[in-house]
Amino acid sequence: MKKILFMMWAVLLAFPAVAQETDAAVTQASTDTASAAVEPAQDPAERNKMLYSLGFLLGDNLKRQLVLDNEDDYKALSQGMRDSLLNKSSQTVLDDYKPQIIEKYKQDAQIISQKRAEEQKEYLENFSKEKGVKVLDNGAMIKLAKKGKGRTAKADSKVTVNYEGKLIDGTKFDSSYDRKEPFTTKLTDVIPCWTKALQQMRPASKATVVCPADTAYGNRPVGVIPPNSALVFTVELISIDE
């Protein structure tokens, strides 16, 4: 497993943004490895599934950073990874290609960023036109599915909610439902989108809240959330606690 973690870093260090996104996951994996050292040997079939899942997640991260145009691109990339993992000699002089790798990363980052910006603009425009959507003064949008009863929260209220957060492509990045534990916070301690949107909600209400990037995390990458990402939340307001 130590060798696997080392090879993960070999791939991730070639693409710094990927390393940043997965740093916490790798740290946790190292901790889990130490704990697993005293456990019985893993069933081979389950180990294969675990390694397949690891490979899938690495591929998912790489495709967020690279533009791969055709089957030959995928074959060349996967062959390089395979040769490295099997301790085979490189078929190229690696140092000769480092400048091209860096340049490709820069160009692909621009292409991916531009494509994301266009997709998000279209998504936000379409959502704003849906029946029942209210566009708030900071650009955040809310669509109530259930109105609830009682008073609305204030800008400094403490609230308890259940929520699920996704990117516009449906990638889930957080969920209190998955943790099976509601989330309690002051509205002064959350992203501006939430501060505004939850003031539109009453206890027992449920809503879709859409946050343009500048009302969320802006140009900062946070976990699997890329820079300049619009976010989509399903939020249930359980209670206003103070």
Domain boundary among the residues 91, 115, 150 is at 91
Question: What residue type is 205 in one-letter code?
Answer: S
226 in a structural domain: yes
Q: What is the pLDDT of residues 7-62, one digit of tens each?
A: 333 444 444 444 444 444 444 444 444 444 455 567 889 999 999 999 998 888 88
CA distance 140 to 191: 11
Contact status, residue 144 vs residue 132, Cβ threshold 8 Å:
yes
Domain that holds residue 187: 132-240
Q: What is the pLDDT of residues 177-186, one digit of tens each?
A: 999 999 999 9
CATH of the domain at 164: 3.10.50.40
205 in a structural domain: yes
Distances 89 to 94, 96, 98, 206 between C-alpha atoms, Å? 11, 15, 17, 57
Q: What is the pLDDT of residues 139-153, one digit of tens each?
A: 999 999 999 999 999
Q: For the chain, what is the domain count? A: 2
Task: Look at residue 128 and tell me whether its pLDDT is greater than 90.
Answer: yes
Taking the model in full, what pTM does it have?
Answer: 0.70
Q: Do 55 and 144 belong to one domain?
A: no
Q: Do 167 and 84 belong to one domain?
A: no
CA distance 3 to 87: 11
- What is the end-to-end Cα distance of the chain in Å, rounded? 48
Q: Do 147 and 62 belong to one domain?
A: no
> Residue 137: which of 185, 187, 192, 213 has the closest Cα?
192
CA distance 28 to 32: 6
Q: Do 138 and 228 belong to one domain?
A: yes
The backbone torsions φ and ψ at residue 43, rounded to the nearest 5 degrees and listed phi first, read -60, 130
Helix (H), strand (E) at residue 107: helix 94-128
104 in a structural domain: no
Check residue 121 and give its pLDDT.
95
Q: What is the pLDDT of residues 73-91, one digit of tens each?
A: 989 999 999 999 999 999 9
Beta bridge partners, 172, equal 166
Q: Do 87 and 171 belong to one domain?
A: no
Distances 213 to 16, 50, 124 between C-alpha atoms, Å? 22, 34, 11
